[in-house]
Amino acid sequence: MKILIIGAGGREHAIAWKLSQSKRPVDIFIAPGNAGTASDFTNVDIDVMDFDHLVKFALSEHIELVIVGPEDPLSAGIVDAFQAVDIPIFGPNQKSARLEASKDFTKQFLNRYQIPTAQSFTTDNYLEAKDYISQSALPIVIKADGLCKGKGVVICQTFEEADATLKDMLLDQSFGTSGSQVVIEDYLEGHEQSLLCFVSNNRLVPMDTAQDYKKAFDGDLGPNTGGVGVYSTPDNEDDVLQAKINAILGQIEAGLVAEDFAFYGILFIGFMIQDGEPMVLEFNVRFGDPETEVLLPRLESDLLTVFEKTLDGTLDSADLTWSNQAAVGVVLYSKGYPGPYDNHQLIQALPDDALIFHNGTSRDEKGQLLTNGGRVLTPVALADDLQTARQAVYDVVAEIHGKSLTYRTDIALL
């Protein structure tokens, strides 16, 4: 089967890697891909937002299945473009993708169906926003409404910090149109949990959970990033918490059906577990990155079959079989990320026998491996317990040499 994966990061590398293990023969193309995907698959030099050329390529190559990785093309309607020419595509249509493209849209959806979430206020007016935070308890969370690659969320500890964040987003337009409206939320205390679900005609089929790390520095300090580490273990939630999460999944399904979403693809639910109560922080409508890099190595089912059953509406929880092993991934990222960083820096060495997904890499004219982005590499290790997997992945990290690379040392420990 000929498959086209759209994207250029570690998520897309992991999807391709897992699909290559299918029992059926597959021929995998990745647009545009990176240096890691080029080693085992066929990269196609087409931008993820160039829908016309992507469709033309798919038609000319007789592509039988398209999988979309990143959020930008999904929110812009890439699924609708491929559906218009009858090419099967895994991902939500533009209407469904609004659940990630607008945090306010999601908040309204959650509130309509009484799904637990933080109290919030949405505005595009700086003075209204300033007045609201002046009457709110601290800390408080300010989110740019639109897509910001995981970086449009600020937890403000003081009124002065909140005011500066509002000025930055609403007046200085630091996130462009994505921050022209803000969602201000009550701060929730607890531990975060990521739950990815396959969505098959509005039915949610959950995967095992994953825990990612958003802060750039050890101790959960520093600015928010797209994610710099992650782990996944066999689910062992207590029955009471699991029942509450299952109830929320049912409420989400009911809302999707009631509003005629026709959702096929992935729904990524970010939970905060506060005093034993799950609260929805956010929705994403695609595979998480770096969550995908630890979930797919733990998935024992044939991913191609899972994709096909999702699209034909027959996927069931029995179709997902998970390893009993734990998986840990550590993201090596460019020094300075998520702020300014030097790009196209030499990576001196990679171990040959390790599982390493490439997030942002390229090669120069000499074939040398270079950094090509903020997040660069995600080595992953599996083991029978979490701490053994953690030690194994950090042993791999120690073998990766690049002067511009850094990483957190407390993934799966904190």
Q: What is the DSSP string of 225-246?
A: -S-SEEEE------HHHHHHHH
pLDDT at 238: 83
> Average pLDDT of the chain?
96
Distances (CA, A) of 207 to 17, 107, 234, 322: 18, 23, 10, 9
pLDDT at 191: 86
Residue 288 pLDDT > 80, yes or no?
Answer: yes
Residue 237 pLDDT > 80, yes or no?
Answer: no
Average pLDDT over residues 395-405: 96
Residue 235 pLDDT > 80, yes or no?
Answer: no
pLDDT at 234: 93
pLDDT at 152: 87
Provide φ and ψ at 252, rounded to 5°.
-65, -45
Half-sphere exposure of 344 (CA within 13 A, CB side): 4
Helix (H, G, I), strand (E, B) or coil at 207: strand
pLDDT at 149: 76
- Measured CA to CA, the distance from residue 348 to residue 401 in angstroms comes to 5
- Measured CA to CA, the distance from residue 214 to residue 219 in angstroms comes to 11
Q: pTM for this structure? A: 0.94
Looking at the DSSP bridge assignments, the partners of residue 68 are 6
pLDDT at 253: 98
Looking at the DSSP bridge assignments, the partners of residue 53 are none
Residue 148: DSSP 8-state:
-
Looking at the DSSP bridge assignments, the partners of residue 141 are 155, 185
Average pLDDT over residues 139-161: 91
What are the pLDDT digits (tens) for 214-224? 999 999 999 88
What are the pLDDT digits (tens) for 20-59? 999 999 999 999 999 999 999 999 999 999 999 999 999 9
pLDDT at 284: 95
What are the pLDDT digits (tens) for 71-115? 999 999 999 999 999 999 999 999 999 999 999 999 999 999 999
Residue 405: DSSP 8-state:
E
Residue 194 pLDDT > 90, yes or no?
Answer: no
What are the pLDDT digits (tens) for 352-367? 899 999 999 999 999 9
Distances (CA, A) of 174 to 121, 159, 180, 395: 20, 19, 9, 39
Mean pLDDT lowest for which of 142-146, 149-153, 226-230, 399-403? 149-153
Provide φ and ψ at 375, rounded to 5°.
-90, 130
Structural domains of the chain sorted by starting position, each given as residue range(s) with its CATH number in brackets: 2-93 (3.40.50.20), 125-180 (3.30.1490), 191-319 (3.30.470.20), 326-406 (3.90.600.10)
- Measured CA to CA, the distance from residue 174 to residue 168 in angstroms comes to 6
And the tokens for 249?
A: 């999944």
Convert 70-82 to b/e letters by CB count within 10 Å (16 or more is b). Answer: bbbbbbbbbbbbb
Residue found by looking up tokens 């689910």 in the block: 235
The answer to whether 338 touches 224, Cβ cutoff 8 Å, is yes
pLDDT at 362: 97
Residue 150 pLDDT > 90, yes or no?
Answer: no
What are the pLDDT digits (tens) for 239-270? 899 999 999 999 999 999 999 999 999 999 99
